[in-house]
Structure 1
């Protein structure tokens, strides 16, 4: 069943991230540096998959109208999220963890700049994700109507929380569960017929 498949696709990444969040250290220290770095290595391929929540309900060839323009903006912004937030994972996760583990007495002189750079990348990634949610909402409202707005409301709250929660327990875990809920609501809304029939040159909704 297509709806079940779509819900699995959009919920898998945020649920996996929520699971990792339950075991995510609250802060980087010498005793947990190895665990910190290893966890972020495992997470490296997972972060970009959060963007599937945008791609799945917007799939199909972009149309040459407002829906298509908003779809392209959402895809580009979603790509920006995937690039920048994965950068946070690599720099403040893997890089900082290894520096904390092997940096000796000077480790803080290396770790602190890595965190600063990683935070900047993460902020850029969340701004891109927020822009993608807004653009996707425009495309989905034009296609399916106001029934997509409950999912949008949940996702925007999650984006706001995501700025400083990462996946740290407890708020970061709740944020990831919220992304799963919001994307699932979008998938359900997009599974029902569109407001109007598509043209001959358009992909089906």
Structure 2
């Protein structure tokens, strides 16, 4: 994976969600309900893209052989689990909660809706954490020389950010900081992993006259 592609995949979704989170209402009220709903409609598109971060790191690390394909497949599956279950949280508590508050008003149904949304969303958050930890390990293994230091810093940012994501969503200020950490962490790991060295076979110089035709007397 080219460094430019890696940066786009790891940085843009997380930073876009950080910007979106800066405008997230702190609580759901009849007044905030329209923007609460519309913000999560935008999030319905952006949240799944966050799974590109761990995947891009694994693609940059290029783990070899059958084991490498299995690990990449595992990260893809974890990303799908995250996208599905976290998307359910976004749809239920975000879009559904905002829309029904506009139509019906606040009531005990809000807590019940948030309860099932959180129960589904936490599964997606744990899947994302697992994908991030796996990507961090592969980046540390793949990064050569001093680039491993960058991979280590990135791994710290990404794993702490993924852990914070379990509870922070994208609320200001912790959720916004979480998204920034994920963007920085996965980008640093991907850039370090793209610097991995691949051995190339070199031909030894032929002896003078080795390729000359043999003449017989």
Structure 1 residues 178 and 116: CA distance shift in structure 2, 3 A: same
Shift of 1:9: 2.3
Q: CA RMSD in A?
A: 2.2
Greater C-alpha Rg? 2
Matched-pair contact (CA < 8 Å) for 1:54–1:74? yes
TM-score, normalising length from structure 1?
0.86
Question: Do residues 157 (structure 1) and 156 (structure 2) align?
Answer: no
3-state SS, counterpart of residue 59 of structure 2: coil
Shift of 1:36: 0.3
For each residue in 1:138-191, what CA deviation from the matched residue of structure 2 results, as whole angstroms up to 9, or x when unmatched? 333343364433211111111121111111111111111101100110121122
3-state SS, counterpart of residue 9 of structure 1: helix
Structure 1 residues 197 and 86: CA distance shift in structure 2, 3 A: farther
Gaps of 5+ in 1: 199-205
Whole-angstrom CA distance in 2 between matches of 1:135 and 1:72: 12
Question: Do residues 170 (structure 1) and 181 (structure 2) align?
Answer: no
Matched-pair contact (CA < 8 Å) for 1:126–1:163? yes
Task: Please show how residues 30-109 of structure 1 align to structure 2 within 5 Å.
Answer: 30-59=30-59, 63-104=64-105, 107-109=106-108
Task: Please show how residues 15-26 of structure 1 align to structure 2 within 5 Å.
Answer: 15-26=15-26
Gaps of 5+ in 2: 201-217
Matched-pair contact (CA < 8 Å) for 2:33–2:101? yes
Shift of 1:77: 0.9
Shift of 1:110: 2.0
3-state SS, counterpart of residue 149 of structure 1: helix
Question: Do residues 188 (structure 1) and 187 (structure 2) align?
Answer: no
Matched-pair contact (CA < 8 Å) for 2:139–2:190? no
For each residue in 1:116-152, what CA deviation from the matched residue of structure 2 results, as whole angstroms up to 9, or x when unmatched? 1111122111100011112223333343364433211
Q: Which one is further off, 77-86 or 57-66?
A: 57-66
TM-score, normalising length from structure 2?
0.81
Q: How many correspondences in the alignment? A: 195
What is the match of residue 126 of structure 1?
125
For each residue in 1:50-77, what CA deviation from the matched residue of structure 2 results, as whole angstroms up to 9, or x when unmatched? 1111222223887544333322222211
